């Protein structure tokens, strides 16, 4: 046999731009396995007026103690304090997310206890995070201990404190979820999950989806106050449009002034759309994520309690409907203003065209009168020139007679009259026809 050869490595074409980033997107934000019992605290901070440098400088204080560097261009970081305790940070376009995972001793639970104080952070570090807090949620995972629904609800009410208790079963009875949707004195809200035996991975996925619901709910609701204010603003702008539309019917109103006012109204409407459309679109996207996470959790009600997600939807759905209504109302008003302006612009153009036609008609009448006057002048000119020509012929006849030629002055003058008229008329006619031909040639050149 011949000498064996090693096959050459098969190579692919050059990678498309961002191939690695797109491929690895599936690994972004993996659910962290969570032991039971444990606690997860998630802080959503709005950073629209915070620079990335300020945020990374603050993170650097904590990261350096764990031997991790934070770069100015980083958008994510995980600090592992031990096998269970960790901090995850993510920077998004308009907010940043801080998620703390840690073990929990159930004995410290109580309505009056501040679970925020249990975070393994340096004094003042949490308060020094750049930005403004939008949501601060703590999810407490405890074993179900075989409690009945009544005992579990009583325990949850005692741990969560006063307020209307709502509860649901999650993921085919994998856990029972309780909350009062109240803000505690430390600024946090709290969820309690009593978990049946499950893997740490599943506990992490359920907790992550629950925290997503709360975070995206708050992000979606950011659009609600401006949407509610926009409704009254739309009433004002629609009334203004109706007034201008009625003004179109008033023949005493100046169309050009009305058109200027409509263009001004259109500019106001487009400014409102440019100001709020991005936030309204984001709210729709966030709301869709909330619904997806709720579908994943598949909650069912517990005896004697309103379901957590039923309670949430009853409050969230009308708010999102208001946002959608404001969005569509803005777009509809923009279209109506544009149609009204088009209609008025068409009328202005028709009026201008009618005025142009009147002007052209006046010009044509003037040209007709000028032509008639010119023809009258030409007739008088023919008569005058003929008269002078006949006079010259008469003087010529007199001269010839003085020379002794037998010439009758009267006869010669009489014969000269029709000849002179014909000659002058034909000459004037030939000149006019020549000038008319030059005008037509100039019009043809202009059209070409």
For residue 58, give every residue at least 6 positions away whose Cβ sits within 8 Å of its Cβ, in sequence order, or none: 125, 128, 129, 130
Q: For position 413, what pLDDT does the model report?
A: 77
Q: For position 351, what pLDDT does the model report?
A: 66
For residue 224, the SS3 value is: helix
For residue 209, the SS3 value is: helix
Q: Which element (helix H / strand E) includes 82?
A: none
Rounded Cα gap, residues 139 and 143, in angstroms: 13
Q: For position 335, what pLDDT does the model report?
A: 83
For residue 45, give every residue at least 6 positions away whose Cβ sits within 8 Å of its Cβ, in sequence order, or none: 95, 96, 97, 98, 129, 130, 131, 132, 133, 134
Q: Which element (helix H / strand E) includes 91?
A: strand 86-91
DSSP of 342-392: HHHHHHHHHHHHHHHHHHHHHHHHHHHHHHHHHHHHHHHHHHHHHHHHHHH
- List the alpha helices (DSSP H) in 133-223: 149-160, 200-221
Closest to 137 measured CA to CA, from 192, 212, 95, 189 = 189
Q: For position 1, what pLDDT does the model report?
A: 45
By CB atoms closer than 10 A (0-12, 13-18, 19+), residue 211 is buried
> pLDDT tens string for the chain (448 positions)?
445 455 556 888 888 888 877 776 666 667 889 999 999 999 999 988 888 788 888 888 888 877 777 776 667 778 888 888 889 888 888 899 999 999 999 888 887 888 888 988 888 899 999 999 999 999 999 999 889 999 999 999 999 988 899 999 998 889 999 999 999 999 999 999 999 999 999 999 999 999 999 999 999 999 999 999 888 888 888 888 888 777 777 766 777 777 788 788 888 888 888 888 889 999 999 999 999 999 999 878 899 999 999 999 998 999 999 999 988 888 888 888 887 777 767 666 666 676 777 777 777 777 777 766 666 666 667 777 777 777 777 777 777 777 777 777 777 777 777 887 778 777 877 777 777 665 555 555 545 5
Q: For position 2, what pLDDT does the model report?
A: 47
Q: For position 191, what pLDDT does the model report?
A: 96
Domain ranges across the chain: 29-201, 224-357, 368-435
For residue 322, give every residue at least 6 positions away whose Cβ sits within 8 Å of its Cβ, in sequence order, or none: 224, 227, 228, 231
For residue 337, give every residue at least 6 positions away whose Cβ sits within 8 Å of its Cβ, in sequence order, or none: 241, 262, 265, 266, 269
CA dihedral for 329, 332, 338, 343, sign (positive or negative): negative
């Amino acid at each position: 046999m011949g000498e064996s050869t090693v096959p050459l490595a098969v190579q692919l074409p050059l990678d498309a731009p961002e191939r690695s980033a797109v491929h690895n997107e599936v690994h972004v934000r993996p659910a962290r396995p969570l032991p039971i019992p444990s606690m997860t605290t998630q802080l959503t901070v709005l950073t629209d007026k915070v620079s990335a440098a300020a945020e990374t400088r603050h993170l650097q204080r904590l990261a350096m103690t764990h031997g991790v560097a934070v770069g100015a261009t980083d958008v994510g970081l995980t600090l592992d304090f031990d096998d269970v305790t960790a901090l995850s940070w993510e920077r998004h376009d308009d907010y940043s997310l801080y998620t703390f995972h840690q073990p929990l001793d159930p004995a410290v639970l109580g309505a009056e206890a501040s679970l925020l104080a249990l975070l393994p952070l340096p004094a003042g570090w949490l308060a020094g995070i750049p930005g403004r807090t939008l949501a601060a949620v703590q999810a407490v995972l405890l074993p179900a201990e075989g409690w009945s629904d009544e005992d579990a609800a009583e325990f949850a009410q005692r741990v969560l404190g006063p307020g209307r208790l709502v509860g649901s079963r999650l993921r085919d009875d994998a856990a029972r979820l309780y909350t009062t949707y109240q803000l505690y004195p430390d600024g946090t809200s709290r969820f309690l999950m009593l978990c049946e035996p499950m893997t740490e991975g599943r506990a992490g996925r359920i907790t992550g989806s629950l925290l997503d619901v709360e975070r995206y709910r708050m992000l979606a609701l950011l659009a609600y106050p401006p949407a509610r204010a926009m409704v009254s603003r739309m009433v004002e702008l629609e009334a203004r449009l109706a007034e201008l539309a009625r003004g179109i019917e008033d023949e005493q109103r100046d169309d050009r002034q009305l058109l200027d006012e409509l263009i001004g109204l259109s500019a106001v409407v487009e400014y409102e759309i440019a100001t709020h459309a991005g936030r309204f679109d984001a709210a729709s996207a966030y709301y869709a994520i909330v619904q997806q996470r709720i579908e994943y959790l598949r909650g069912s009600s517990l005896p004697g309690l309103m379901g957590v997600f039923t309670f949430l939807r009853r409050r969230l759905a009308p708010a999102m409907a208001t946002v959608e209504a404001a969005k569509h109302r803005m777009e509809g008003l923009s279209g109506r203003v544009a149609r009204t302006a088009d209609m008025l612009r068409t009328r202005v153009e028709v009026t201008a065209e009618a005025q142009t036609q009147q002007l052209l008609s006046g010009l044509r009448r003037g040209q007709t009168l000028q032509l008639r006057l010119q023809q009258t002048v030409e007739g008088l000119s023919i008569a005058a020139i003929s008269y002078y020509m006949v006079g010259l012929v008469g003087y010529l006849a007199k001269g010839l007679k003085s020379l002794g030629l037998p010439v009758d002055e009267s006869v010669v003058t009489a014969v000269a009259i029709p000849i002179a008229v014909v000659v002058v008329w034909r000459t004037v006619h030939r000149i006019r026809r020549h000038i008319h031909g030059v005008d037509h040639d100039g019009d043809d050149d202009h059209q070409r």
